[in-house]
Every structure is written in structure tokens, then in C-alpha cells.
Amino acid sequence: MPARLRHIHPSTDFAYQKTGADFGIAKNRGRHAATPFRHLSQDFLAEEMKRDYAKEAFCFLVMVGISAWPIALMVSALSQLK
């Protein structure tokens, strides 16, 4: 960074994490404030997640079946060689 721009912009501490003490909020109050939103999003997305899981499970089973088919044919061919 050029020397003239260093003075314009302050350095930023990217590792900074604010706590409840920063705003005079008790730790427990800050934690419970987000709980209702979390439950709302879980309830809202519950059915959609079940459908997505079923689709992904079906696709996974199709891929496993396609992958296992040549292996089963190889075992069958090897058993006929004896």
C-alpha cells in the first residue's frame, strides 16, 4: 500500500469479536435473543429439508447401483471361469 494511503485508512483488526460486554448486555440475554429466529427458520425449512434429503438419498442410491453393477458382472464372470 502506498505511504500516502496508509494515513487515510486506519488499520483493521480482522480478529476482533465483539462480546456482550461491549454494549453492556449480559451474555445470557444476548444468547436468548436469537433463539426464536433459529426456531422459526428450523420450523420453516423442516419440510423442505426432508424433501431434499429424499432426493439426495435417491440420487445416491442410483449412483451406488450404477457403480456396483460392473463389479457384480465381474464377479459373475470370474465365477464362470472356474
User: Tell me, what's the pLDDT at 9?
Assistant: 63
Q: Identify whether 5 is part of a domain.
A: no
pLDDT tens track of the chain, all 82 residues? 566 655 566 667 677 666 666 555 555 555 555 567 777 777 777 777 888 899 999 999 999 999 999 999 999 999 998 7
- Cα 52 from Cα 44, distance rounded (Å): 14
User: For residue 26, what are the domain limits?
Assistant: 21-81
User: Tell me, what's the pLDDT at 58?
Assistant: 96
Total domain count, the chain: 1
> What CA–CA distances, in Å, run from 73 to 33, 35, 69, 76?
59, 54, 6, 5
Q: Identify whether 29 is part of a domain.
A: yes
